[in-house]
Amino acid sequence: MLSLSLIVFVGFGSNISAYAYSIPGDWFLPYSRVELRNGFKGETHPDADEFVELSDSRFVHMQNPAVTSNGGITWIVKNLSYDSTRDITFILTVRSWNATTLSDFSFYPESLVLGYINHDLSTTWFTVDDVHFFHRDAFNSDQFFGYSVVFTVPADQANSFSRISLSGSGTWPPLGVSLYAYYSDDSSSSVSDLAAILAKLEDIEQSSDEIKGAIEDQYSGDPDQSFNVDDIVTQHNEKMGVLSFSSDVMMDVLGLLSPDQNLSSELVFPSMSLKIANQRQTVQLWPEYRFDLEELAGHWPFLINLMRSITTASVWLLVLRYCYKVFDKYFLAGGS
Amino acid sequence: MIINLITTLLQFVTDTIFSVVDLPVVPRGLVNAVDLMLGYMRSGMGIFNFFCPLSGISGAVDLFVAVWTVEHTYRLVMWVLQKIPLLGVK
């Protein structure tokens, strides 16, 4: 499995909502339920709704020169893993939220570009093998159409992160944009199966819309009423104040004797660095070194087990000796 | 088991008595310092656990705590009783 850096530049409106879903089976895009809001410029991480704004210069740097754009979406997906021995088919679908707005929408497949982002931020462009247009009149009472882009990813061009950028210009109605990918050993047969795939996408999008609607209904009220369990626990702990803290510390200390905890036998030798004030440089004399004592048990298991048996027996003997002294003090002649 | 019983009992007592009191928030510096100290102690216990497995001596620790607690409780009770001349305890 390798990582792929991918860019998709599409020329279309700046007023865009984009969704992506993870699909089981051969579908492998690692993000799920990622929503990019209108006019958003930023990046998102797989399996998370966290967005990080990018600088405008970086966004402009990533734009397709063929598209005159002053807005749009930059969508970055990191660690897109794929099987480099198989072809990849990308499907870009675009849907309108109502039938009246679809006629206002323009889509430019010729401006769609796929490419790698290399480690030095240079771009290696791909030649699109094929582009197919789809149109479905009825999709959840909305208009729906899409494009499929088929291309093969060479095995020797793996990168550490992936970018999917959507850019465009003008004022367009709100649109839903979804990008999907799947493995296709035979691109022609894959294209022929796109109708079934799109039908599958309908179910996924419909269920996702239902979930999204339920979430929006739940949080459509006063946002101040939203709560977090962690906040409640934190407030409780803060209310308990010093005494709760002290009891927690005591429990933590006594918990150190619990044999159920996961203790590490790793020795850490910290690094050593010197900071040169005049040159504002830091010189590292030696790096941090870690040594796990369990390696000793791997090399000399008999000796380690013997040592552990001896120490355990010694502790038990000490405790039994203490118990005998107490017993002798109070019940035998030793106490008199 | 005894340690867990003691800690649970202490927590119940402290929570019950002081839950109605609006105590101040623990300073962040103190929390960080204690966390750092607990981290060092945990690392130390990890080393100790390598040489002397806690699973093997947990029974001994429980026995020691139990005997020590009984002995000192007995001595405390006897010390109090010795202060009462009417009982004549020596």
How would residue A329 be classed by pLDDT, with cut points 50, 70 and 90?
A: confident
Residues near A70 by Cβ (< 8 Å), separated by ≥ 6? A14, A169
Average pLDDT score over residue span A187-210:
51
In DSSP notation, A244-263 reads HHHHHHHHHHHHTT-TTS--
**Residue-wise pLDDT tens digits, B44-88:** 998 999 999 988 998 999 999 999 999 999 999 999 998 888 877
CB contact under 8 A, A257 and B63: no
More confident of the two residues A86 and A63: A86
How would residue A202 be classed by pLDDT, with cut points 50, 70 and 90?
A: low
Both tokens of residue A128?
A: 């699109």
Average pLDDT score over residue span A15-25:
29
CB contact under 8 A, B42 and A311: no
Residues of B with Cβ-Cβ distance to A266 under 8 angstroms: 46
CB contact under 8 A, B63 and A242: no
Report the range out of A33-42, A138-147, A160-169, A194-203 with the highest average pLDDT. A194-203
Mean pLDDT (chain A) is: 54
- Residue B73, chain A, CB below 8 Å: the answer is no
- Residue B53, chain A, CB below 8 Å: the answer is yes
CB contacts under 8 A, A 212-251 vs B, are 238-247, 249-251
Residue of B nearest to A250 (CA): B7
- Residue A211, chain B, CB below 8 Å: the answer is no
How many whole angstroms separate alpha carbon A23 and alpha carbon A9? 23
ipTM surpassing 0.95, yes or no?
A: no
Q: Is pLDDT at A107 greater than 60 in this prediction?
A: no
Q: Taking the model in full, what pTM does it have?
A: 0.40
Residue (of A240, A302, A281, A70) closest to B18 by Cα position: A240
Kindly report the nearest CA distance between residue A285 and chain B, in angstroms.
24
- Block residue for tokens 């003090």: A329
More confident of the two residues A38 and B53: B53
Average pLDDT score over residue span A216-238:
50
**Residue-wise pLDDT tens digits, A256-271:** 888 777 788 888 888 8
Mean pLDDT (chain B) is: 83
Q: Are A9 and A149 in contact (CB under 8 A)?
A: no
Residue (of A16, A43, A48, A18) closest to A32 by Cα position: A48
Kindly report the nearest CA distance between residue B2 and chain A, in angstroms.
11
Q: Is pLDDT at A309 greater than 50 in this prediction?
A: yes
Structure confidence at residue A230 (pLDDT): 54
Of B21, B54, B64, the CB nearest to A322: B64
Q: Is pLDDT at B6 greater than 60 in this prediction?
A: yes
* Half-sphere CA count of B79, side-chain side, radius 13 A: 6
